Amino acid sequence: MIRRCCNFLLKTLKTPWVQGLICALLLVLVLWVAGPLVAVAGHVFFESTTSRLVGTLVIVFIWGLMVAILSSRQRRREATDPEIATRKEKDAALQDRLREEFRHIKHTIKTAIKTVTTSNFYGPTSRSRYALPWYMVLGSENCGKTSLLLNSGLQFPLNEQADRHLYKLKSTSKIEVLFANQAVFIDTPGFYAQCNQESREHGLWTYLLRRLFRERPAKALNGIIVCVSMRDMLDGDTTRREHLARTIRTRLGEVLKNLRSYTPVYLVFTKCDAVPGFAQFFAHLSRNEREQIFGCPLAQASWIWTQRVRNFMN
């Protein structure tokens, strides 16, 4: 936040009209402080307050004239250079989109809080905003975040997307809140996980975290589900994988910073059917067998590893 403010100030100070304003203020300061001390041929031009006011108005007029000339030149340059005009239109469109996104985040979170506390689906009486656990789903573009939720076996009867297949075909471009029977899930767009800290889109991610903390300060999130596509893992580009890992790690650090509490992280590998032989290996298993833990818990794995080390030493 401090870095972003410093960058904004530096960018503002580099603009010609701000630099001209600073020079004008310095001249006015010199005029009022040193003006009465300067004499030409024994005559002090700025001895009286009236003369110094006139001098101040002249300096302000010159500064305003300079700003008008520079603005006129800028408009003529934009009119003759289509590239500048196109860039300006894109920036304006991006600003409009970001403002709409900010409004959408605020409205979505407030609506979710109201649904949890007042909806008859969760009971006839009003409830605390902490009555249900909240989970955020985070991951890169097209890593299967929404598909993971829709194929998890959970039911989302309150969501407007009645046709699950059509919902799966739609790429998430804004945050979506899915209301399950026992939990609330925040499905985030992929660029939340991929944007860098200097980008304008990063402000949306920060605003979402702050809005969650404002609405649920005691426990903004009960967990974060980080989705990583196996197709990205199988990709031979090591640099890309390392960049993804660093970016996700940065997002998790920002969660800790903005929510001011530790949040459990659940790492889920999606699109495992991209692994050669994966589908064939599990094809003969029943649904109950497929729902069993694949592998062993870390505590059990640690015990097994310790036993193997002891056996080897003996």
The more confidently predicted of residues 161 and 26 is 26
Asked whether the predicted pLDDT for residue 111 surpasses 60, the reply is yes
Asked whether the predicted pLDDT for residue 165 surpasses 50, the reply is no
Q: How confident is the model at residue 10 (pLDDT cuts 50, 70, 90)?
A: confident
Domain 95-293 sits in CATH at 3.40.50
In a 13 Å sphere around the CA of 143, the CA atoms on its Cβ side amount to 27
- Tally the residues of the chain: 314
Q: What is the pLDDT of residues 305-314, one digit of tens each?
A: 666 666 655 5
**What is the rounded CA–CA span in Å between residue 91 and residue 97?**
10
Q: Where are the domains of the chain?
A: 2-73, 95-293
CA distances from 109 to 27, 137, 216, 220 (A): 51, 15, 10, 11
Query: Which residues does 140 contact at the CB level (< 8 Å), separation at least 6?
Result: 190, 193, 194, 228, 229, 232, 244
In a 13 Å sphere around the CA of 2, the CA atoms on its Cβ side amount to 0
**Integer Rg of the chain from CA:** 30
Work out the average pLDDT over 184-194. Answer: 90
Q: What is the pLDDT of residues 32-91, one digit of tens each?
A: 888 777 777 666 777 788 888 888 898 888 888 888 888 887 777 766 666 655 666 666
Asked whether the predicted pLDDT for residue 166 surpasses 80, the reply is no
Instruction: Check residue 224 and give its pLDDT.
Output: 95
Count of beta carbons in the 10 Å neighbourhood of residue 227:
24
Query: Which residues does 41 contact at the CB level (< 8 Å), separation at least 6?
Result: none
Query: Which residues does 216 contact at the CB level (< 8 Å), separation at least 6?
Result: 113, 129, 130, 134
Task: Answer yes or no: pTM beyond 0.75.
Answer: no
Instruction: Check residue 133 and give its pLDDT.
Output: 93
* Best-predicted range by mean pLDDT (22-26, 76-80, 215-219): 215-219
**What is the rounded CA–CA span in Å between residue 135 and residue 186?**
6
Q: How confident is the model at residue 138 (pLDDT cuts 50, 70, 90)?
A: very high
Q: How confident is the model at residue 252 (pLDDT cuts 50, 70, 90)?
A: very high
Task: Of 10-24, 49-63, 250-264, give the lowest mean pLDDT range.
Answer: 10-24
One-letter amino acid for residue 258 of the chain = N
Which residue spans within 134-219 are E strands per DSSP? 134-139, 176-179, 184-187
One-letter amino acid for residue 204 of the chain = L
Q: What is the DSSP letter of 144?
A: S
Instruction: Check residue 144 and give its pLDDT.
Output: 86
Which residue spans within the chain are E strands per DSSP? 134-139, 176-179, 184-187, 223-229, 265-270
Instruction: Check residue 134 and give its pLDDT.
Output: 95
**What is the rounded CA–CA span in Å between residue 280 and residue 288?**
17
First to last CA, the chain: 56
| Residue pointed to by tokens 């015990």 | 303
- Determine how β-strand 134-139 pairs with β-strand 184-187: parallel
One-letter amino acid for residue 181 of the chain = N
The more confidently predicted of residues 11 and 208 is 208
